[in-house]
């Protein structure tokens, strides 16, 4: 079984790997190959139509266009939906200190829109087109999600079209550039997979003999250890704040 997804660290790839794990746990005959398609929806449709893939992740709005052979497709492709995988919004991301507040503010800005042949770029054209402007009114940067996100963080571009979660890119960006908001009380939530218990050198599993009381029949012995609980993420995964 071959499943087409998208570029590294993308939502489709994350979901494809999760789907593979479900199939394997459920005893579905394998092997299950999760393959990357750098143009995501558009490329997956083509590869399914040509028999290269058994399943392909697609944004649902492209299925009808693929069937009819409408732009961005050049010819009809015989597809059908097997099952929905998630329901999540696509959105633009900017730095917290950016003055961009609406989609219309993207006029004249440098915007990462995904690879040129991707469904993400077509989403941007559709959204902006509904508001009366297009790529000619901005500077489109055809970057993948990790590269575009880093460029936004470094102020090299102004915004990026971002696909829905689950998406490791957003977790990384939040850790690197997420704002710190002062609150009076906080409750932090951490994913235990990011935690690690690290022994403190010179204080791990030390044999000790505590002072003995006068008792010929009892021997006192102890083993002590000191360690630090650390995380590889600068910020919490979630914060419940009370002002």
Region class of 162: left (phi > 0), else alpha (psi between -120 and 50), else beta: beta
Share of the chain above pLDDT 90, in %: 30
Question: Rounded mean pLDDT of 211-223?
Answer: 66
Check pLDDT > 90 for residue 119.
no
Name the burial class of residue 182, with classes exposed (0-12), middle (13-18) and buried (19+) by CB atoms within 10 angstroms of its CB.
Answer: exposed
pLDDT band at 179 (very low <50, low <70, confident <90, very high): low
Instruction: Tell whether the model's pLDDT for residue 114 goes beyond 90.
Output: no
Position 186 confidence tier, pLDDT thresholds 50, 70, 90 = low
Pull the structure tokens for residue 87. Answer: 């329901």
Note the pTM of the prediction, 2 decimals: 0.60
Q: What is the mean pLDDT of residues 168-178?
A: 76
Average pLDDT, the chain: 83
Residue-range domain boundaries for the chain: 2-68, 91-177, 185-242
Looking at domain 91-177, its CATH class is alpha beta
């Amino acid at each position: 079984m071959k499943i087409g997804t998208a570029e590294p660290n993308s939502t489709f790839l994350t979901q494809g790997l999760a789907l593979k794990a479900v199939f394997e746990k459920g005893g579905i005959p394998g092997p299950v190959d999760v393959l990357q398609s750098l143009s995501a929806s558009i490329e997956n449709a083509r590869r399914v139509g040509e028999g290269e893939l058994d399943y392909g992740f697609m944004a649902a709005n492209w299925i009808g266009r693929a069937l009819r052979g409408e732009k961005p497709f050049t010819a009809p492709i015989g597809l059908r939906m097997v099952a929905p995988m998630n329901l999540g919004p696509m959105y633009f991301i900017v730095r917290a200190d950016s003055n961009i507040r609406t989609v219309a503010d993207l006029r004249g800005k440098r915007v990462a829109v995904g690879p040129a042949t991707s469904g993400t770029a077509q989403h941007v054209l559709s959204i902006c087109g509904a508001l009366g402007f297009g790529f000619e009114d901005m500077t489109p940067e055809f970057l993948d999600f990790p590269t575009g996100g880093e460029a936004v963080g470094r102020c090299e571009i102004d915004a990026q079209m971002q696909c829905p979660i689950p998406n490791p890119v957003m977790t990384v960006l939040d850790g690197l550039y997420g704002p710190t908001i002062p609150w009076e009380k906080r409750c932090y939530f951490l994913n235990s997979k990011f935690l690690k218990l690290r022994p403190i050198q010179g204080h791990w599993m030390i044999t000790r003999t505590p002072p003995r009381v006068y008792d010929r029949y009892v021997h006192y012995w102890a083993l002590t250890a000191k360690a630090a609980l650390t995380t590889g993420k600068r910020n919490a995964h979630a914060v419940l704040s009370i002002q």
